[in-house]
Amino acid sequence: MILKSILLQNFRSYSQKEFQFGEDTTIIIGANTVGKTNLIEAIFFVAQGRSFRVDKDEQLIKFEKSVARIKGKTEDKDLEAVIVQGGMEGRLRPFKKYLVNGVSKRKIDFIGNFFAVLFAPSDLDIIIGNPSKRRDFIDNVLSQVDKDYRQALTFYQKGLRIRNALLHKAKEEGRRSEKEFLYWDNLLINQGQKLTRKREDFITYLENSKKEILNFEIFYDKSAISRERLLQYKEAEVGAGVTLVGPHRDDFYIRINANDIRYFGSRGQQRLAILQLKLLELAFIQEKTEERSVLLLDDIFSELDEEHINLVLGMIGSQQTIITTTHLEFIPKKILKEMAVISLDKEK
Ligand SMILES: Nc1ncnc2c1ncn2[C@@H]1O[C@H](COP(=O)(O)OP(=O)(O)O)[C@@H](O)[C@H]1O
Ligand SMILES: [Mg+2]
């Protein structure tokens, strides 16, 4: 799938700006803070209905404005996301609107119309960061390709918040009221088991796939949820005041020669591992959706040596790719000749 253009209105540093993209590779070049990552963030938003770097969507609205708009055009769809500050249209809290071909959609139906795989320097955290980074990676991939997963995740997260609030109360009071828990236990078990099953399939896919850049073993360290397990942890949960079992405590780890790469890998191996994971993410999305994703490479070259740069550039053959960089010198001249270049300057 190709992103033909994107229009940004009051999004981050942009007042009003349209970008056109070719089918192959586009390089976005510009100095620091000129708005390169903001553009990548907007493209990602068209794919996933959210930002990859903020939790509070309001931060995406240009300072002193109240509505941000992103309009992406693929070959056959107009995809529009609108982010509105609280206090507008009679609503207290900030909200978002999603439209496909001008028709209003729920977020869950907006996602899945266009696919993007992002690779940024901070992705190294998937390898070296805490377990939540790895869960986010899995959620991010599976949410893109699987509507049931998106739905289950939304229900699970909501149920977990409420169940944790009940446990917090139980901890204060020193006892839990069984009646209150029944509904939320069932919800967490049903939705949680769905998430576990789908995560298991994904990890198995990663484990069984050919890995050309770095061969590793990957293990799913799952926290299964079931009636029995909840019963087993009942006392401990009242003590802790939070839910102690379930996919919100999952992790996975990557091993090379029986050693966990998080602790024993060199930085070079860790970089190769994330590159390999991203390649597998591209392949997985293609297998599940029969669509190619757009590959977004945000400012990754400044941290890589020549060998790694060439490996990355080897990834970009077969799908539309949008690359940001501060210096064109990072990209070998031979390859640069075939790329479209967009220069960004500070908006006046
Ligand atoms: N909501 C916003 N309104 C206006 N400007 C913003 C907003 N959010 C970020 N910016 C500005 O965007 C710039 C950073 O843009 P970014 O895309 O991260 O730069 P880079 O080109 O280095 O990737 C900063 O100057 C920041 O002040
Ligand atoms: Mg940047």
| Residue 348: strand, helix, or coil | coil
Q: pLDDT at position 302, please? A: 83
What is the helix, strand, coil percentage profile of the chain, to 5?
Answer: 50, 20, 30
Query: Going by CA atoms, what residue is nearest to atom 19 of ligand 1?
Result: 33
Q: pLDDT at position 348, please? A: 52
Return the H-helix or E-strand segment holding 231: helix 227-232
Distance CA 105, CA 103 (A): 6
Question: Any idea what DSSP says for residue 177?
Answer: -
Q: pLDDT at position 240, please? A: 96
CA 33 to ligand 2 center in whole angstroms: 7
Q: pLDDT at position 105, please? A: 98
Spell out the residues 6+ positions from residue 146 whose beta carbon is closer than 8 angstroms to its own.
198, 288
Query: Residue ranges of the chain with pLDDT lower than 50?
Result: none
Q: pLDDT at position 330, please? A: 86
Q: Which fold has domain 1-115+291-348?
A: Rossmann fold (3.40.50)
CATH architecture, range 122-290: Up-down Bundle (1.20)
Domain boundaries, the chain: 1-115+291-348, 122-290
- The CA radius of gyration of the chain, in Å to the nearest whole number, is 22
* Ligand 1 pocket, residue 71 CB under 6 Å: no
> Are 324 and 297 spatial neighbours (Cβ–Cβ below 8 Å)?
yes
Q: Which ligand is nearest to the CA of 300?
A: 2
Q: Which atom of ligand 1 is nearest to the CA of 298?
A: 23
Distance CA 1, CA 95 (A): 28
CA 16 to ligand 2 center in whole angstroms: 19
Distance CA 56, CA 68 (A): 13
Q: Which ligand is nearest to the CA of 54?
A: 1
Distance CA 93, CA 53 (A): 20
* Ligand 1 pocket, residue 30 CB under 6 Å: yes
Q: Which atom of ligand 1 is nearest to the CA of 63?
A: 3
Q: For 59-105, what is each residue's pLDDT tens digit?
A: 999 999 999 999 999 999 999 999 999 988 899 999 999 999 999 99
Q: pLDDT at position 347, please? A: 67
Q: Which atom of ligand 1 is nearest to the CA of 13?
A: 5
Ligand 1 probe mutation, 11, 12, 14, 296, most atoms within 8 A of CB: 12
**Count of residues for the chain?**
348
Q: Which ligand is nearest to the CA of 12?
A: 1
